[in-house]
């Protein structure tokens, strides 16, 4: 037997959601958009209720996804993981991902490009670290390979260490190299790159000392 809507009430904490009461009892809630498609006195079959709930899950999941994107760009996997954590049904999650992609809000290639560029400018890292970070974000191997094809790891390593050279106060080459190597290896740079930058940094350090002595 169809159920009769006896009341539709706006939620106190969320003005865009409405509580639906059937036979004077709370039954479920809907977004404003869906709540406007029904009214008090309407009769709802079980099938109609199921469709309303499904449509609401799709609607809510999409706007949750948009909200999550407000803070920073996200990969497809990040958004999927977020929606799974919020316990949306699989069909609503896939619908949301497809919709966000179709509107250009999800683009793993662009996301990865921006990630690499931001790392280069703000916190330079080595190839190994970048590959690991992008894989954790769910970026496909072919996208990673394409974007890192022209990546200059030596330049990135120098950009990472150059601002810190003045803080390393030692004339002991082994101690100097240990500090440089430790810092760069933690940033994911390879041994060969670390060694190359250690030599380059030490040469710069010695040159600076020689200039200071000459000035004195």
pLDDT at residue 56, as a whole number: 96
27: helix, strand or coil: strand
So where are the chain's domains? 1-44, 57-106, 107-151, 152-216
Quick one: CATH architecture of 57-106?
A: Orthogonal Bundle (1.10)
* Enclosing H/E stretch for 21: strand 17-22
Phi and psi (nearest 5°) for 21?
Answer: -110, 130
Query: What is the spatial distance between Cα 63 and Cα 191, in angstroms, rounded to a whole number?
Result: 46
Per-residue pLDDT, 204: 81
pLDDT by residue, tens only, the chain of 216 residues? 568 999 999 999 999 999 999 989 999 999 999 999 999 999 999 999 999 999 999 999 999 999 999 999 999 999 999 999 999 999 999 999 999 999 999 999 999 999 999 999 999 999 999 999 999 999 999 999 999 999 999 999 999 999 888 888 777 889 989 999 999 999 999 999 999 999 998 888 765 544 444 455
Quote the pLDDT of residue 208: 54
Q: Which of 137, 163, 36 is nearest to 80 (CA)?
A: 137
CATH class of 107-151: mainly alpha
Which pTM value belongs to this model? 0.80
Tell me whether domains 57-106 and 107-151 share a fold.
yes
Q: What is the DSSP code string of 68-103?
A: HHTTS---HHHHHHHHHHTT--HHHHHHHHHHHHHT
């Amino acid at each position: 037997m169809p159920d009769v809507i006896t009341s539709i009430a706006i939620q106190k904490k969320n003005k865009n959601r409405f509580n639906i009461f059937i036979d004077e009892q709370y039954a479920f809630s809907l977004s404003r958009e869906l709540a406007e498609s029904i009214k008090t006195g309407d009769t709802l079959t079980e099938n109609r209720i199921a469709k309303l709930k499904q449509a609401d899950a799709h609607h809510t999941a999409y706007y949750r996804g948009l909200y999550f994107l407000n803070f920073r760009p996200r990969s497809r996997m990040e958004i999927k993981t977020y929606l799974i954590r919020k316990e949306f049904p699989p069909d609503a999650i896939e619908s949301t991902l497809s919709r966000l992609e179709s509107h250009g809000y999800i683009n793993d290639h662009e996301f990865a490009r921006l990630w690499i560029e931001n790392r280069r400018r703000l916190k330079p890292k080595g190839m190994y670290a970048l590959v690991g970070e992008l894989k954790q974000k769910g970026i496909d191997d072919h996208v990673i390979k394409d974007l890192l094809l022209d990546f200059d790891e030596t330049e990135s390593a120098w950009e990472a260490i150059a601002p810190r050279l003045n803080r390393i106060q030692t004339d002991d080459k082994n101690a100097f190299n240990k500090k440089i190597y430790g810092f760069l290896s933690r940033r994911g740079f390879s041994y060969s790159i670390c060694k190359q930058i250690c030599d380059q940094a030490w040469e710069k350090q010695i040159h600076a000392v020689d200039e200071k002595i000459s000035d004195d």
